[in-house]
């Protein structure tokens, strides 16, 4: 374009039009040399406008446009090669098959419903969820960690073969959890207390993520059927749903009472009147067990019999600030609990009056927890008060098996001291040996647990949630127990709903699966 | 005047020679052909993992065409500007590569047909250089040309509409857009008319505020012909071409008369026409709506429209592009090879390749303007500038449309887009520019004064 736009210079104008050659302008008006240059400058400006707009679209708005929901490019790229595997132990629980359609490959699941709460789904129509979503870059091969020449690969847009995700899940434990829940609606979370490794993550009823992995009418029908199912099979109850934890929360309250010094001897009588009226009200905090109505029961007896009055009063005595701090040490009020799949936030209110605090301390009122966080409570007690960060991924590998990332155990919080944890373990063992959790006893093992039967719904009319949280260790072992588990049964055909009756047997099966490895 | 006399010249001192630059042109033409061949190879490597078997044939065919054109220039226009021909060869080659690439992803086999049309275009290029020794001869046929242009534009009304526009003439398997040919004839007419009447247009007439309006009797024929064109185009709902003709009209009037009043009137008329047509035609109305909010149809639940798909393609290209054959521009669907071919260039060659293409056009246009300024006869000056402006405006209307800078009008990118009439016409335009640049640079009897 050089030479254009210089026409405004008076020297050029004079040179081109002076002397009135045929091209000169009429009577002193600028000639074609000048107007032509101006028109040329105009055309140059049009080019500049195009370049500016191209830069806007291709550079500044590129990210937004690439991620637009109607833009199929990311999906096409994602499915242009076999997707990496999600592994449980040595086995791959996922696969890829050629489709012959617009998307070259489709996700398959070898045991879809069994692992749906672990894998999530990878659908060409409906996107990704859970591990399929959080680890998508690795599975689809775009993760820069897979590239041997990161910069060159980025320039050439070379797509590496998809890498594998090795999970911490144990097949036997997972199967025990799903089999234990059976046809009941509920969830199981099992972790290894010393490391935070998640051994099982189950949610029932489950679904087959392979049923809507493609783009066909069948896929769409399967999806809409799952979406409209009143039992909500696609809800991951172990991670994404909170329930009032009921009496299982008394483990946290007991730990807070011991840690804060409100209780120094678990066998000493507590100063609990009968009936215990909620502070500032004339409403008594009732007990399920008649033995609890004896005044001044010890903490040990209260835990074994699950006495609301004793634990509610202790919670008030510990105080809101210390109760909340202890609960938060176990994972409550954490908005970003990433396994890497994010767990829903478990709640313990930080502002309430004493009556509400008493109710919250026995796992009612606004207290709500995911099964994962209740498993962290049991695991923290088992691990001498140290709560480990729960982890679902063991390592990430490239397609050739090279480890590109290995997840190390990390401490989430020191919730209570080792002494307190040891005392609470004794209380939990007592609850299983002699109290409400007898259904979880295992021959040749030490089991500590706590039952819970949580009321919910308007005026507590809903079917109660049956809870059980526990840990187990081989008898005589001084090591940290190898498993902690939380079970919630939200709905079942049973006539009598109690944590000890419905949830404890499931927890027992899961723990036995770990102990018999 | 103050140069050596005839005596010194006859005394055997070498005459000052003007370099012909033909070897420069030959080198650039060969580089352009080589670029296209590399493009073919890249498509094959990215799509099939192997250099396509017919890359040699395509490259050979393009090379033969380019050398034929170069030979014609060397023989009959030796002093011509060395840039327009290589640029045309390169753009045509890039177009063939991208169409070949899109053939791999979409139904239809358009690349061989496009190569055939390109051969016809080069044939006409050679023919123009051989037959038209002086562009001033065209001045005689200006009015006949305008009449032929009008007939060409009216013809498609008698043929069935294609994709909502009556701009096609179909004979069995062949179809072409007469509007493409008409634009050259119209540029010739404007140049001839304005060369004769520019003084009257510039100096007479009534002054309204700071604008001098031309007298009716001079203006009337121009306005009448222009109105006839625009009327026909609006009836055929071909907005791109009517916008192009309108822009050409305003630019040439301004260049001829230096009256800024023309620009004001032009912009005013354009605004009135735009609002009016936008109100009346649902076809146009939807185009404007899509331009104002390209992603609106997605939010409304209707999926991505073509302009959104086009933007997706550009965005995917980013700075460096996905590589020829590695993009997904087939998602644009219909017209990917014609109106939307620029989106594939943006997606697979990136911002870098896209700007390079824009700069090629800018260079071609600027050489046209330079030729116009260098020529001495008003008709030639106006014709060269008009033809260059025609290319520049068309590129802007097409590229601006697919980039959502202006409403989409549906036109072909010169030399690159699929479409026989367009390729052939643009080769004729380049032939005329080459011819005129030869005359502008040729050392004549007055050389060395």
pLDDT at residue B175 tops 70: no
Tens digit of each residue's pLDDT, chain A (517 residues): 333 333 333 333 333 333 334 445 556 677 888 999 999 999 999 999 999 999 999 999 999 998 888 888 888 887 888 889 999 988 888 988 888 777 888 889 998 889 999 999 988 888 888 888 888 888 888 887 887 776 777 777 777 888 899 999 999 999 999 998 888 889 999 999 999 999 999 998 999 998 988 888 888 899 999 989 888 999 999 999 999 998 899 999 999 999 988 888 888 888 777 778 888 888 888 877 777 777 788 888 888 888 888 888 889 989 889 999 999 999 999 999 888 988 899 999 888 888 889 888 988 888 899 999 999 999 999 999 999 999 999 999 988 888 888 899 999 999 899 999 999 999 899 888 887 888 888 888 889 998 888 777 666 667 788 899 999 999 888 888 999 999 998 876 666 667 667 888 899 999 999 988 8
Residue with tokens 């822009």: B247
Distance CA B350, CA A62 (A): 11
Q: Which residues of A317-348 are buried (b: 16+ CB within 10 A; e: fewer)?
A: bbebebbbbbbbbbbbebeebebebebbbbbb
Q: State residue B11's pLDDT score.
A: 45
Q: Which of B369, B436, B444 should we substitute to test contact with A (largest number of A Cβ atoms within 10 Å)? A: B369
Please give the residue that has the higher pLDDT: either A454 or B22: B22
User: For the domain that residue A422 is a member of, what is the CATH number?
Assistant: 3.40.710.10
- The domain tally of chain A equals 1
Residue with tokens 């309430």: A352
Contact A51 B358 (CB under 8 A): yes
Contact B255 A39 (CB under 8 A): yes
Its sign, for the CA torsion B18, B22, B27, B28, is positive
pLDDT band at B212; cut points 50, 70, 90 = low
The residue segments making up the domain with residue A368 are: 246-515
Q: Confirm whether A356 is domain-assigned.
A: yes
pLDDT, tens digit, 9 for 90 and up, residues B346-373: 999 999 999 999 999 999 999 999 999 9
Distance CA A240, CA B204 (A): 82
pLDDT band at B201; cut points 50, 70, 90 = confident
Residues forming beta bridges with residue A486, ordered by sequence position = A189, A469
Distance CA B41, CA B51 (A): 5
Find the CB nearest A50 among B254, B365, B396.
B396
Tell me the chain B residues in contact with residue A48 when contact means C-beta distances shorter than 8 Å. none
Contact B403 A70 (CB under 8 A): no
Q: Confirm whether A196 is domain-assigned.
A: no
pLDDT at residue B217 tops 80: no
Distance CA A417, CA A381 (A): 9
Q: How confident is the model over B5-17, as a mean pLDDT?
A: 50
- What part of B 403-442 touches A (C-beta under 8 Å)? 403-405
Chain B residue nearest residue A76, CA to CA: B328
Chain B residue nearest residue A153, CA to CA: B322
Q: What ipTM does the predicted assembly reach?
A: 0.91
Is B331 within 8 Å of chain A by CB? yes
- What part of B 284-303 touches A (C-beta under 8 Å)? 295, 298, 303
Contact A22 B396 (CB under 8 A): no
Q: Confirm whether A3 is domain-assigned.
A: no
Q: State residue B96's pLDDT score.
A: 94
- Whole-angstrom CA distances from B159 to A90, A103, B153 are 68, 40, 12
* Closest by CA position to B413, among listed B355, B349, B358: B358
Is B351 within 8 Å of chain A by CB? yes
Q: Confirm whether A410 is domain-assigned.
A: yes
Q: Give the catalytic positions of A in this structure.
A: 247
B151 Cβ contact list (under 8 Å, min separation 6): none
Q: Confirm whether A483 is domain-assigned.
A: yes
Tell me the chain A residues in contact with residue B393 when contact means C-beta distances shorter than 8 Å. 43, 46
pLDDT, tens digit, 9 for 90 and up, residues B225-259: 777 777 776 777 777 787 888 888 889 988 998 87
Q: Which of B366, B377, B395 should we substitute to test contact with A (largest number of A Cβ atoms within 10 Å)? A: B366
Is B78 within 8 Å of chain A by CB? no
Q: State residue A142's pLDDT score.
A: 80
Is B274 within 8 Å of chain A by CB? no
Name the token pair of A136: 């998508």
Q: State residue A10's pLDDT score.
A: 37
């Amino acid at each position: 374009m050089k030479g254009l736009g210089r026409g405004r210079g008076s020297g050029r104008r004079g040179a081109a039009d002076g002397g009135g050659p045929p091209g000169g302008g009429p009577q002193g008006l600028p000639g074609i040399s000048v107007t032509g240059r101006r028109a040329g400058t105009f055309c140059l400006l049009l080019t500049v406008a195009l370049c500016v707009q191209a830069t806007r679209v291709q550079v500044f708005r590129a990210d937004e446009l690439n991620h637009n929901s109607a833009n199929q490019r990311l999906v096409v790229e994602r499915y242009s090669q076999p997707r990496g595997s999600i592994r449980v132990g040595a086995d791959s629980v996922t696969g890829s098959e050629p489709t012959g359609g617009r998307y070259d490959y489709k996700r398959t699941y070898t045991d879809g419903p069994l692992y749906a709460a672990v894998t999530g789904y990878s659908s060409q129509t409906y996107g990704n969820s859970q591990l399929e979503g959080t680890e998508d870059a690795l599975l689809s091969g775009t993760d820069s960690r897979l590239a041997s020449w990161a910069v060159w690969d980025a320039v050439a847009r070379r797509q590496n073969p998809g890498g594998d995700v090795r999970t911490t899940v144990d097949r036997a434990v997972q199967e025990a959890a799903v089999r234990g829940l059976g046809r009941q609606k509920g969830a199981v979370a099992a972790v290894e207390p010393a490391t935070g490794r998640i051994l099982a993550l189950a949610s029932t009823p489950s679904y087959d993520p392979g049923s809507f992995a493609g783009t066909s009418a069948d896929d769409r029908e399967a999806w809409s059927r799952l979406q409209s199912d009143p039992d909500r099979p696609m809800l991951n109850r172990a991670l994404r749903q909170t329930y009032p934890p009921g009496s299982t929360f008394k483990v946290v309250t007991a730990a807070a009472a011991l840690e804060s010094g409100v209780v120094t001897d678990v066998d000493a009588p507590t100063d609990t009147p009968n009936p215990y009226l909620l502070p500032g009200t004339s409403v008594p905090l009732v007990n399920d067990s008649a033995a609890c109505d004896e005044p001044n029961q010890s903490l040990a007896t209260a835990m074994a019999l699950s006495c609301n009055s004793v634990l509610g009063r202790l919670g008030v005595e510990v105080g809101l600030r210390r109760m909340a701090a202890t609960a938060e040490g176990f994972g409550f009020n954490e908005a970003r609990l990433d396994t890497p799949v994010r767990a829903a936030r478990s709640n313990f209110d930080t502002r309430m009056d004493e009556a509400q605090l008493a109710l919250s301390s026995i796992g009612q009122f606004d207290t709500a927890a995911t099964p994962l966080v209740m498993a962290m409570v049991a695991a923290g007690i088992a691990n001498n008060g140290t709560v480990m960060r729960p982890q679902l991924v063991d390592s990430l590998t490239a397609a050739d098996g090279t480890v590109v990332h290995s997840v190390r155990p990390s401490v989430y919080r020191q919730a209570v001291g080792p002494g307190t944890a040891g005392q609470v373990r004794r209380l939990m063992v007592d609850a299983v040996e002699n109290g409400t959790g007898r259904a979880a006893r295992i021959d040749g093992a030490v089991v500590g647990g706590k039952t819970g039967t949580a009321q919910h719904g308007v005026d507590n009319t809903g079917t109660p949630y049956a809870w059980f949280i526990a840990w187990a260790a081989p008898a005589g072992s001084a090591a940290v127990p190898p498993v902690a588990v939380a079970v919630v049964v939200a709905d079942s055909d049973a006539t009598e709903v109690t944590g000890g009756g419905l949830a404890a047997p499931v927890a027992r099966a899961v723990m036995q699966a770990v102990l018999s490895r | 005047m103050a140069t050596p006399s005839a005596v010194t010249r006859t005394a055997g001192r070498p005459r000052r020679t003007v370099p012909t630059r033909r070897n420069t042109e030959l080198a650039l033409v060969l580089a352009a052909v080589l670029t296209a061949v590399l493009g073919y190879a890249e498509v094959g490597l990215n799509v099939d993992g192997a250099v396509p078997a017919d890359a040699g044939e395509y490259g050979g065919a393009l090379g033969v065409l380019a050398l034929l054109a170069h030979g014609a220039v060397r023989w009959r226009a030796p002093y011509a500007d060395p840039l327009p021909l290589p640029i045309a060869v390169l753009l045509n080659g890039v177009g063939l590569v991208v169409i070949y690439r899109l053939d791999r992803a979409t139904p239809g086999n358009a690349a061989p047909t496009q190569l055939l049309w390109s051969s016809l275009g080069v044939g006409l290029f050679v023919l123009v250089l051989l037959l038209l020794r002086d562009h001033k001869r065209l001045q005689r046929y200006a009015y006949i040309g305008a009449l032929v242009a009008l007939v060409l534009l009216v013809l498609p009304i008698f043929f069935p509409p294609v994709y909502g526009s009556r701009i096609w003439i179909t004979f069995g398997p062949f179809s072409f857009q007469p509007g493409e040919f008409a634009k050259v004839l119209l540029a010739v007419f404007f140049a001839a008319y304005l060369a004769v009447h520019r003084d009257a247009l510039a100096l007479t007439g009534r002054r309204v505020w700071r604008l001098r309006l031309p007298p009716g009797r001079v203006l009337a024929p121009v306005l009448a012909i222009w109105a006839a064109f625009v009327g026909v185009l609006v009836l055929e709902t071909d907005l791109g071409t009517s916008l192009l003709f309108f822009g050409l009209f305003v630019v040439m009037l301004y260049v001829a008369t230096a009256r800024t009043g023309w620009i004001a009137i032009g912009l005013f008329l354009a605004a009135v026409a735009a609002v009016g047509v936008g109100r009346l035609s649902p076809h146009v109305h939807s185009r404007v709506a899509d331009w104002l909010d390209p992603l609106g149809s997605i939010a409304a639940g209707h999926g991505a429209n073509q302009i959104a798909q086009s933007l997706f393609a550009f965005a995917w290209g980013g700075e460096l592009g996905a590589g020829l054959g590695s993009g997904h521009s087939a998602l644009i669907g219909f017209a990917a090879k014609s109106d939307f071919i620029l989106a594939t260039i943006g997606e697979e060659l990136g911002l870098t390749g896209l700007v390079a293409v824009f700069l090629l056009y800018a260079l071609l246009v600027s050489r046209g303007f330079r030729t116009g300024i260098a020529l001495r006869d008003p008709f030639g000056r106006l014709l060269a500038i008009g033809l260059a402006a025609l290319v520049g405006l068309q590129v802007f209307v097409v590229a601006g449309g697919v980039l959502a800078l202006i409403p989409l009008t549906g036109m072909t990118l010169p030399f690159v887009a699929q479409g026989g009439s367009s390729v052939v016409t643009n080769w004729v335009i380049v032939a005329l520019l080459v011819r005129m640049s030869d005359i502008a640079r040729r050392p004549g009897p007055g050389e060395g004064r």
